Structure 1
Amino acid sequence: MEWIEVVMPIIKSIFLAIIVLIVGSTIIKFLIKVLEKQIQRSKLDNSLKPFIMSLISAILKILLALSVISILGVDITSFVAILAAAGFAVGLAFQGSLSNFAGGILLLTLRPFKIGDFIEGAGYSGTVKGIQILYTELVTPDNKSVYIPNGDLSNAGIVNYSKNSTRRVDLTFGVGYEADNNHVIKTLKDIVDNHPSVLDEPEPFIRLTGHGDSAVEYTVRIWVKSEDYWGVYFDILEQAKIRFDEENISIPYPQMDIHLNK
Structure 2
Amino acid sequence: METAMETAGWVGPLLVAAIKALVVLVIGWMAAGMLSGMVRKRVIANPQIDATLGNFAASIVKWVVLLLVLVAVMSIFGIEATSLVAMLGAATLAIGLALQGTLSDLAAGFMLILFRPYKLGQFVDIGGTSGTVVDINLFVTELVTPDNVQIIVPNGQAWGSIITNFSHHDTRRVDLVFGIDYGDDANAAMEIILAEAKADTRVKADPEPWVKVTNLGDSSVDLTTRIWCDAADYWNLKFEMTQKVKEAFDAKGISIPYPHTVEIKKEG
**TM-score, normalised with respect to structure 2:** 0.71
Structure 1 residue 82: deviation in Å? 4.5
Match of 2:194, as an amino acid? Answer: K
Sequence identity (%): 39
Structure 1 residue 81: deviation in Å? 5.8
Q: Distance in 2 between matches of 1:116 and 1:54?
A: 18
Q: Distance in 1 between matches of 2:238 and 2:84?
A: 64
Q: Distance in 1 between matches of 2:184 and 2:231?
A: 34
Note the alpha carbon deviations across 1:141-190, whole angstroms, 9 max, x for none: 11111111111111111111111110000001111111112211111111
* Secondary structure of the structure 2 residue equivalent to 1:252: coil
* Secondary structure of the structure 2 residue equivalent to 1:191: helix
Note the alpha carbon deviations across 1:14-60, whole angstroms, 9 max, x for none: xxxxxxxxxxxxxxxxxx99xx69x845844333245446657839x
1:247 counterpart = 2:256: no
**Cα distance change, pair 120–75 in 1 and its aligned pair in 2 (3 A):** closer
Q: Distance in 1 between matches of 2:208 and 2:145?
A: 32
1:165 to 162, 167, 170: 170
* Secondary structure of the structure 2 residue equivalent to 1:187: helix
Residue in 1 that maps onto 2:106: 101
Residue in 2 that maps onto 1:114: 119
- Structure 1's unaligned 5+ residue stretches are 1-31, 257-262
Q: Distance in 1 between matches of 2:95 and 2:217?
A: 61
Match of 2:250, as an amino acid? Answer: D
Q: Distance in 2 between matches of 1:189 and 1:142?
A: 33
Q: Distance in 2 between matches of 1:250 and 1:187?
A: 13
Residue in 2 that maps onto 1:86: 91
Q: Distance in 1 between matches of 2:247 and 2:47?
A: 52
Residue in 2 that maps onto 1:194: 199
Higher mean C-alpha displacement, 123-132 vs 84-93: 84-93
**Cα distance change, pair 55–130 in 1 and its aligned pair in 2 (3 A):** closer
**Cα distance change, pair 145–54 in 1 and its aligned pair in 2 (3 A):** closer
Q: Distance in 2 between matches of 1:143 and 1:204?
A: 34
Query: Matched residue pairs, number?
Result: 223
Match of 1:133, as an amino acid? Answer: L
* Secondary structure of the structure 2 residue equivalent to 1:152: helix
Q: Distance in 2 between matches of 1:165 and 1:54?
A: 29
* Secondary structure of the structure 1 residue equivalent to 2:215: strand
Residue in 2 that maps onto 1:3: none
Is the 8 Å Cα contact of residues 56 and 136 (structure 2) preserved in structure 1? no
Structure 1 residue 84: deviation in Å? 2.8
Q: Distance in 2 between matches of 1:96 and 1:175?
A: 54
Residue in 2 that maps onto 1:130: 135
1:227 counterpart = 2:227: no
Note the aligned Cα RMSD (angstroms).
Answer: 3.6
**Cα distance change, pair 75–184 in 1 and its aligned pair in 2 (3 A):** closer
* Secondary structure of the structure 2 residue equivalent to 1:48: helix
* Secondary structure of the structure 2 residue equivalent to 1:91: helix
Give structure 1 regions of 4+ aligned residues with deviation exceeding 6 angstroms: none
Q: Distance in 2 between matches of 1:108 and 1:240?
A: 43
Residue in 2 that maps onto 1:58: 64
1:183 to 188, 196, 203: 188
Match of 1:157, as an amino acid? Answer: I
Higher mean C-alpha displacement, 206-215 vs 43-52: 43-52
Match of 1:192, as an amino acid? Answer: A
Is the 8 Å Cα contact of residues 175 and 225 (structure 2) preserved in structure 1? yes
Q: Distance in 2 between matches of 1:47 and 1:94?
A: 26
Is the 8 Å Cα contact of residues 202 and 233 (structure 2) preserved in structure 1? yes
